[in-house]
Structure 1
Amino acid sequence: MTTAERPVIVPLPPHLTHPFAPAGRADPGPAYRWLQVHDPVHYDPYSRMWWLTSHAACGAALRDNRLSAALGQRERARDDALPPSMLTTDPPEHQRLRNPGQLLLGPAAVRSLEGVLGEEIDALIGALPDRLDAVEAIGAPFATAVFGRLFGLPRTDWARFELLAGAASVNLDPLAGSERAAAGRAAMAELSAFLTAHARTAVAGPLGRLMADDRITEREKTGILGLAVVGGWQPLAEMVGNALYWLLPRPEAVAALRGSGGGDARHGDEDGGAARLLVDELLRLEAPIPFTARVATEEVPLPGGTVPRDGRVLIIIAAANRDPAAFEDPDELRPGRTPNPQLAFGAGTHFCLAAQLVRTASALLLPRLLGGFPGLALTTAPDALAWDPRPIPRRLLRCPVSTTGSADAD
């Protein structure tokens, strides 16, 4: 790169901490907000990446196929190759894999699950103790029940699936160290073998329809299964703790959700409208996957700046989702916010295929959970709860609650 081609570096003010520094990870918001105003297409000399923080720049980048997701996945700080899937390919290869993936995660597949998921949720919350960690006791079992039903797994295999899904989710983190990355690779290999062995016997349901599709190879089917778990299980598991963190200190938001079902607050409104709006708002505030990487295959002008050819790009969804230029009161929970152009599931060609599954399952859970326990309360002050210091996923380490309303400190 010549001197003329070198990017202009706009430094963060001294009072702001770099968002990826250990001290900045817990609350990167102030740095993101400053960048949105002063340098929304920002070259970060530490990561040597172009950071996009405004909603306009992030939305445009996600929809621009000149920014390659396939090349972006190769920018992870790891030397392992992810299996072929929608995540690791660009059009037209991406669409060739995405069409069969709809059989597993598309609207028809999700609709076929709604009835049984309601039964699973009622059974899960019906067995909750008085005091619990919502991350461990609700989030992970909830995500496991959703995918156990989606894949038609025997219930005796659910515990093993949950263990493997949690371990393999390390693959979401592009900055995982060598030891964690190696553990994630091993877990992913074991998860793939486990799912492939089960899938070979599937003849019905969404999984059976995917396995019967002859448009893609067996290895590509395994890649789709793995991506479904890594991209769907973890966001579902973490959504619960993150949601309760925002909801429980706000009685008016809880009351609105409980009252959305008329005569039966436990089951939400008939079409899930209020609950679905709430889920989108919660995902806007705490996107489990807060950023995604791309590489520019040519110079790409964006709102607020231009990314050069071969530029490595970090689309910071967590920043875009709290951009005051796109959202009124961006740091506040508005349960009925509409329109809500949040980017938690991405946009454009790579819009998350599991989005409808995550939205639908979450909208089924929250009214039942909050309606079933009128006294549900955090037992630790929200500002004392600890967030995972790793940038991906965005998650509470613990979310201690009482189902009876006791708010004694944990």
Structure 2
Amino acid sequence: MTAGTQIRLPAHLSHPFSPAGRADPYPAYDWLRSRAPVHYDAMSRLWLVTGHADCAAVLRDRGFSASAGQQGRARGEELPPSMLTTDPPDHTRLRAPGLLLLGPAAIASVAEGIAADVDDLLERLAGETVVDAVREIGSPLATSVFLRLFGLAERDRKVFAQLAQAASINLDPLAGPQVAALGRSAMAELSRFLDGHCAVAAPSPLTRLAADDRLTRPEMLGVLGLSVVGGWQPLAEAIGNALYWLLPRPEALAALREGGDELARTAMDELLRLEAPIPFTARVAVGNVTLPGGEVPQGARVLAVVAAANRDPAVFDRPGELLLDRTPNPHLAFGGGPHFCLAAQLVRQTGAVLLSRLARRFPAASLADANPAWAATMIPRRLRSLPVNLGGLPVDLDDLPADLAALPAEPGAVPAKLGGGDAY
């Protein structure tokens, strides 16, 4: 298929990147995956890959460059060195020390602390009736987890959370130039903040990474910054997205209460499959590449739409349903190949602990709003708010506190038209 070939969605479907299509892009993804799993999209000026086999190949094939895919988002500015902005062998060299921060041993060293953080958070919520799961569960928990990973003190919570939130704008490839510039400034400030704490933080995965001599100081700070942008907000949003699916299903909540740690882990993977915070990832073809679903020409800017791949009926039985015990579950929510998300274990483990303990602590929890609104941003895929009734009783939305009932304007809202497609 050439760049001139037009794929037109039927009139009843909105383009998944359009304002109308972002709230529920899955019908369009299903249509595209079944008819044109590899195609040039004139609206975004990108090649969209929606089949599971095709996305898996893009993520693993050395014929696609992650470095070039990310540099396309920089608008002429040099991106800091990190695993995200490099290909092997540089990527491999940076990733190995990154295990000191997010590898199995690092996560094991903070596992008990994460469980304690979950218990403390739920204890604080016990006196509440309705809470916003996005702002009062997901974000505070993600912040607590990263304070532990970085050996930061409780007094650092507010500043770290503000910087992490501001720097996470860098996740959104469709952010306008001014918003993107703010994100880069926030990342620079976050790097200075973390650099200043490397020598004074409590012994932690951060201090072990900082002491490793395999990386230069800028490279080490690049790994730290990426861990925040690629870990803090996706973890926070994964919690809200998971509760969006879980709480309307009392039978699923009951199964989690009885199923133990193993079911909680498989459930978290299933919830990530259904609503991945990172719904696609960018690559550039370094040569002509043949994928199972079609040909991609050299130089093509490609989006592996993992949110579409994760509902491919060729791989997943009943792909649009929540099956807590789905095994195997080869979802691509964490990517694949050399760039498989280094924070995957952290997100899985934290999410599983939270869901299991929340199900036991609040057995009648339910959504206070049956139709919560999705944010305008493409990455991360997240809810603007998720009012949760911890007691399970019906709530009149007119009686909610103003900060829950109102839907504030998105600070990083994207323009209605994608424009020149140069965000990638």
Question: Matched residues in 2 for 1:403 and 1:252: separation?
Answer: 16
Q: Which amino acid aligns with 2:315?
A: A
Residues 1:242 and 2:241 aligned together: yes
User: Equivalent residue of 2:146, what SS?
Assistant: helix
- My pick for the range that moved more, 197-206 or 342-351, is 197-206
The within-5 A match list for 1:22-101 is 22-76=19-73, 78-101=75-98
Q: 1:242·1:286 contact (CA, 8 Å) conserved in 2?
A: yes
Structure 2: how far apart are the matches of 1:390 and 1:202?
34
Distance 2:74 2:377 in 1: 14
After TM superposition, the structure 1 stretch with the greater mean CA deviation from structure 2, 49-58 or 79-88, is 79-88
Give runs of aligned pairs for residues 246-257 of structure 1, distance below 5 A. Answer: 246-257=245-256
2:365 pairs with 359, 370, 376, which one? 376
C-alpha RMSD of the superposition: 1.4
1:75 offset after TM fit, Å?
A: 2.0
Equivalent of residue 7 in structure 2, options 1, 6, 10: 10
Aligned-residue offset at 1:409 = 2.8
Alignment of 1:363 with 2:352, yes or no, is yes
- Using the size of structure 2 for normalisation, the TM-score is 0.91
Q: Give the partner amino acid of 2:275.
A: E
1:109 aligns with 2:106: yes
| 1:218-240 deviations in Å (ceiling 9; x for gaps) | 00000000000000001111122
**Shift of residue 375, structure 1, vs aligned partner:** 2.0
8 Å contact from structure 1 (residues 58, 317) kept in 2: yes
Residues 279-311 of structure 1 show CA distances to partners (whole Å, capped at 9, x for unaligned) of 100000010010110000111110110111111
* Contact 1:199 1:211 (C-alpha < 8 Å) held by counterparts: yes
After superposition, where does 1:61-210 map in structure 2 within 5 Å? 61-76=58-73, 78-128=75-125, 129-202=128-201, 204-210=203-209
1:348 is aligned, of 337, 343, 362, to: 337
Match of 1:231 in 2: 230
Q: 2:380 aligns with which of 393, 396, 408?
A: 393
C-alpha distance 403-364 of structure 1, shift in aligned 2 (>3 A): same
Offset, 1:393 = 0.8
Structure 1 stretches of 4+ moved >4 Å = 4-7
Partner of 1:296: 285
Query: In the TM superposition, what whole-angstrom CA distance separates every residue of 1:353-394 from its partner, at most 9, and x where no partner exists?
Result: 01011111111111111211122111111xx21001221111
Contact kept? 1:78, 1:174, Cα under 8 Å? no
8 Å CA contact 1:203, 1:209 repeated in 2? no
Q: Please tell me whether the aligned partners of residues 368 and 394 of structure 2 are also in contact (alpha carbons under 8 angstroms).
A: yes
- Give me the whole-angstrom Cα distance separating, in 2, the residues matched to 1:125 and 1:196: 32
Q: Distance in 2 between matches of 1:156 and 1:203?
A: 13
Amino acid at match of 2:367: L
Q: In structure 2, the residue corresponding to 1:127 is in which secondary structure?
A: helix
| Local SS of the residue matching 1:293 | strand
How far has the Cα of 1:404 moved from its partner? 1.5
User: Whole-Å Cα distance in 2 between the matches of residues 90 and 324 of structure 1?
Assistant: 31
CA distance in structure 1 between the aligned counterparts of 2:234 and 2:197, rounded to whole angstroms: 23
In the superposition, the TM-score normalised over structure 1's length comes to 0.94
Share of identical aligned residues, percent? 59
1: distance between equivalents of 2:85 and 2:74? 15
Matching residue of 1:404: 391
**Residue equivalent to 1:274:** 263
Equivalent residue, structure 1, for 2:216:
217
Match of 2:308 in 1: 319
* SS of residue paired to 2:5: coil
Residue 5 of structure 1, CA deviation: 6.2
Does the 8 Å CA contact 1:77/1:176 hold for their aligned counterparts?
no
What runs of 5+ residues in structure 2 fail to find an aligned partner? 398-424
Alignment partners' CA distance in 2, 1:126 and 1:147 = 20
Are 1:78 and 1:176, in contact at CA under 8 Å, matched by a contact in 2? no
Paired with 2:389 and 2:316, the residues of 1 have a C-alpha distance of 33
User: What SS does the corresponding residue of 2:281 show, helix, strand or coil?
Assistant: strand
Unaligned stretches of 5+ residues in structure 1: 261-268
| Kept in 2: contact 1:387–1:397 (CA 8 A) | yes
Partner SS, residue 294 of structure 1? strand
Cα separation, 2, equivalents of 1:238 and 1:79: 30
